[in-house]
Amino acid sequence: MSEFLQQLDPVSLLSITLITATPLTLAALGGMMCERSGVVNIALEGIMLTGAFIGYAVAFFTHNLWIGVAAAVLSGMIIASLHAVLSISLLVDQIVSGMVINIMAVGITGVFYRTYLESATSAGPGTLPHWNVPVLSSIPVIGPIFFENQFVTYAMLVLILVVHFVLFRTVWGLRTRACGEHPRAAETAGINVHFVRYVNVITSGALAGLGGAYFSLQQIGNFLPNMTGGRGYIALAAMIFGKWTPVGAFGASLLFSGSDQIGSRMQSVFHVQIPLQFLGMLPYLLTIVVLAGAMGRAIAPAAVGRPYKKE
């Protein structure tokens, strides 16, 4: 039994699950801020890719990881403001606008990576340091999972609570949700719908940009073309599966990243051959299932996807 536990190593399993859930959760939180205010955000993938690239490029040239993280967040906000201008002010279809950003991100990161970074020979900026929280990190089981992490993972844990508080306990959150459910009523109550949507879309860029920094600055300390590899869409799935709530999205992200880890352990520990592709399908299939109303229906904010014209 003990040998079995040693092989399964549940603590490291949970730890890796939490770490790999980091970018998913951050992007899902971003998508949530955006969609709660009534703007669909399928651009999470592109925003993360941009954040990963700009974060790495800035860290590379300034030799400072923290400036890199800040740059990732800022670049996410900038590219998200393009989504905001297009979809809120210019009334471009929000799906089209999001798609434009995803395509644009591949182009920008690809072109500038090739020109400035691909053949760079000097050493990279490395990865963000591990911080062990004093006292707490020595708690068995919980310590190694939660309190021996890197910056982006800590930030994610804090931001789950922050987004939850902002959305459900503040005036801003109430206004955000009002704009997402019934913008005309919100406007009548004196809320500037366009302003609220702008701020929320740009905030979503900051969150997804930070999620992008995970890939290049926390995980491997390098940038690779298209390194987000569709994780922005899994984040979208996590947001829906979590029913547009921060805690739900976090749980969904853990489920999705955990199923990957469990899949690989299944083969090494139990010698059970579940094709990895089937486990990979899980996030997408579960999302379709909740959208179809089985397992408790996921209901999007009522006005999501609809541009709002002022009177």
Residues lying near another protein in the complex (CB under 8 A): 40, 42, 86, 90-93, 95-97, 99-104, 106-116, 183-184, 225, 230, 233, 236-237, 240, 275, 277-278, 280-281, 284-285, 287-288, 291-293, 300, 303, 305-309, 311
Burial 41-51 (b: 16+ CB within 10 A, else e): bbbbbbbbbbb
Span between the terminal Cα atoms of the chain, in Å: 69
- Tell me the closest approach of the beta carbon of residue 85 to another protein, in angstroms: 9
Q: Rounded to the nearest whole angstrom, what is the least distance from the CB of residue 149 to another protein in the complex?
A: 28
Q: Which of 21, 27, 6, 3 is nearest to 232 (CA)?
A: 27
Shortest Å, Cβ 303 to another protein: 6
Residue nearer to another protein on the CB measure, 98 or 209: 98
Angle at which helices 151-169 and 193-213 pack, to 10 degrees? 160
Given the complex with another protein, which of 101 and 156 has the nearer CB atom? 101
Minimum CB separation of residue 70 from another protein in Å reads 22
Least separation in angstroms between residue 145's CB and another protein is 29
Amino acid at 156: M
Distances (CA, A) of 267 to 167, 241, 255, 272, 275: 41, 27, 18, 5, 9
To another protein, the closest distance from the beta carbon of 250 in angstroms equals 20
Report in angstroms how near the CB of residue 156 gets to another protein at its nearest. Answer: 23
Distance CA 136, CA 229 (A): 34
Query: Counting beta carbons within 10 angstroms of the beta carbon of residue 169, is it exposed (0 to 12), middle (13 to 18) or buried (19 or more)?
Result: exposed
C-beta neighbour count of 110 within 10 angstroms? 15
Question: Of 149 and 242, which has the nearer Cβ to another protein?
Answer: 242
By beta-carbon proximity to another protein, the closer residue of 35 and 160 is 35
Q: Which one-letter amino acid corresponds to residue 176?
A: T
User: In terms of CB distance, is 133 or 262 closer to another protein?
Assistant: 262
Q: Which is nearer to another protein, 38 or 51 (CB)?
A: 38
Q: Would you say 116 or 172 has its CB closer to another protein?
A: 116
Separation in Å, CA 20 to CA 134, 192, 225: 23, 38, 19
